[in-house]
Structure 1
Amino acid sequence: LHTLAKHGGAAPGDARAPKPVRLEWDHGADVRSDISAAHAASTAFFGNVTSRVSFFQDYGAAEIKRLGVSPDAFAQMAMQLAFYKQFGYNVATYESNSTRRFLHGRTETVRSTSIDSVAFC
């Protein structure tokens, strides 16, 4: 509110609002070196990832719902089971959840790994 009053009530996107100013950063050599090292490490890590897409067409969301199961829960359990079958252990998983329909809604995290999901795997 202070900003709106300061600029004559101009809201973001309003022509009366102040123009954005590009920020210039002057990091020291140590920070630039750390950034370069992090970039190299992430490039090496993500360069070692294999991704493959498979299409499953035997049934879809309608059939899963007919069985009384949430398609989202089905997909979460499929991913947890696949991970367990490949690596032999369960890990904590999460998915994003939008609460935008609520006052001040935002993205929240749902932790889908549970005692029951571990028992299923």
Structure 2
Amino acid sequence: MYLYRGAARKPGGIEITSIQEEACRRGKSMQGPTMPRGRTALRARNVRVHGRRTSMKLEPAFWDALEAAAMREGRSINEICSMIDDRAAGYGLTAAIRVFVLAYGWCRRLDDAIATVPVGSLPTADGARD
């Protein structure tokens, strides 16, 4: 399906003035822009994990949060990804990074956030886990 901006003609002669109007016409709600079929919101980036280059795909919000955590801790993204990889044995690295980002956003402490990887409980204010 093609998405149009402004007034346009869709194959079949239906006039579409906006994506939201088309969604309303079809009885669907829209909570933001949609991705055309076959597209993804994931962004691929290369990082070095223990010196080896690897490519990872994460949503832009996770990349932003990972960069912010690295800056706040005075470390590189590569260093943090290597620390996460040490704990993520048997689990996917990108999933472990998502867990780390969630935990770091929750507690703002690198050691506690790393300790939650790969599937731990979120740390409490005093560092204990449920």
The structure carrying a bigger strand percent of its residues is 2
Larger radius of gyration: 1
